[in-house]
Amino acid sequence: MGNAAVNTSVRTIGFIGYGAMAIRMGANLRKAGYRIIAFVPSGKTDEDQTTLLPTPKAVAEQADLIIVCVPNDAALARSADGKEGIFAGARPGMLVLNTSTVSPEATDALQKAGKEHDVRVLDAPMSGSTPEAEKGELVMLVGGEAADVDAARPVLEAISKAIVHAGPSGAGTKLKLVVNGIMGATLNIVSEGVIYGLCAGLDRDTLYDALAQVAVISPHHKRKLLAAQKGAFPPQFPTRLMSKDMGLLIDTGRDVGAFMPGMAVAAQALALANRRHANDDYGSLIGAMEHSIVPHQDS
């Protein structure tokens, strides 16, 4: 939980993608004694302690271990493949930890490319938002070979409170979709409850204050309710990413024949919220629903 001993075979960690979550992971890894370098497509970062390099290949050439933290399948493919991609610069035996939330198909493609280049690949998406990343209290959901998970453990321990080895390659990705599907579907139900209460004439602050106290609402969703009560949604987890993840879940659920009508409805609700609040936190779904019945109130 941010205080793990440094893996002596890993001194420099290279990030591919260095946004809000990765910056916070990088800060905890730096506290644990690692040097951090990164590739950012824009060439800019919100902090000044990390050396930025021009390509994923350049990062792989200088790093002992790679952490990929990109928004979607297309960004993962761009980062990994081609003459300037990760595998063009990675050395045999190097570990690549893909913390991105992507499709099972993208995870399989990355694993296959890793084998072709003699590079060890783990799918290791995290459960948690920016507050957990800040405190080094993420839960890492890892798929891959047990020996590779053990090799990555000191690095994972520096950014997390728990490491779940979910199974072989791809298992971490699938477990992350389960977690995010539950998050999204639960938020939709919370939003519907809020809308019923308002339509039924309950005082707005009384409603929100009561929901902040009851055990049936998780601490995570209580944070979303507090933001909705204030009418401000700073992006701990942007709606565009949650909407993307719900779409991935529905697609793969169709492929495996899973019955998920509640999650399908939530995916549609979040797609609607995404039109209005793409870069706001996904808790803005509550605000979008509230706006639909109280058009004079900003949300």
Identify the burial level of 15 via C-beta atoms within 10 angstroms of its C-beta, where 0-12 means exposed, 13-18 middle and 19 or more buried.
Answer: buried
CA distance 175 to 115: 23
Q: pTM for the whole thing?
A: 0.92
CA distance 184 to 186: 5
- CATH code: domain 175-293 is 1.10.1040.10
pLDDT, tens digit, for every residue of 180-232? 999 999 999 999 999 999 999 999 999 999 999 999 999 999 999 999 999 99
Higher pLDDT, 299 or 146: 146
For residue 51, the cross-strand partners are: 37
Higher pLDDT, 5 or 28: 28
3-state DSSP assignment of residue 282? coil
CA distance 229 to 42: 34
pLDDT computed for residue 47 by the predictor: 81
CA distance 33 to 109: 32
pLDDT computed for residue 44 by the predictor: 81
pLDDT, tens digit, for every residue of 138-178? 999 999 999 999 999 999 999 999 999 999 999 999 999 99
pLDDT computed for residue 293 by the predictor: 85
3-state DSSP assignment of residue 139? strand
Asked if 177 contacts 101 with a C-beta cutoff of 8 angstroms, the reply is: yes
For residue 246, the cross-strand partners are: none
Mean pLDDT (whole number) for 76-104: 97
For residue 137, give Cα distances in angstroms to 127, 158, 189.
Answer: 9, 9, 27
Asked if 241 contacts 99 with a C-beta cutoff of 8 angstroms, the reply is: no
- Average pLDDT of the chain is 94
Domain boundaries, the chain: 12-169, 175-293
CATH topology classification for 12-169 = Rossmann fold (3.40.50)
